[in-house]
Amino acid sequence: MNKALDLLQGTLDMLILKAVSLGPLHGYGVLLRIQQISKDRLEIQQGSLYPALYRLEHQGWITSEWGESENNRKAKFYRLTAAGKRRLQAESQKWNQMTDVIAGILGTKPEEV
């Protein structure tokens, strides 16, 4: 499978939370981290990251701070909050349950019905 996948509706928030949970990141860093973890299998429109970041911050799941980037420029770093951590757990759990169910359904063979 060479072609990158379009992101499923509503999963971007979860991915951002996960990326940020591994350590504070600026927006561009979040993008790189997701691409890195997904081994470039996911296609994220770069700009669409920011409304999501602002939304998550507004909801109190991440918090931001201006700091210095690796290339010595001022950048805004996002960090997971306690509420964000709980949210991430809940979301991942839900996601895992969902994929189990879906995988189960899709993996069903005719003789199992």
* 45, two tokens: 């429109």
Report, in Å, the least distance between residue 89 CB and other proteins.
Answer: 15
Between 6 and 100, name the residue whose CB sits nearer to other proteins: 6
Cβ atoms of 55 and 42 within 8 Å: the answer is no
Q: How many CB atoms lie within 10 A of CB 71?
A: 6
Between 45 and 96, name the residue whose CB sits nearer to other proteins: 45
Residues that bind other proteins (CB under 8 A): 26-28, 31, 45-48, 50-52, 54-55, 57-61, 63, 66, 69, 71, 73-76, 81-83
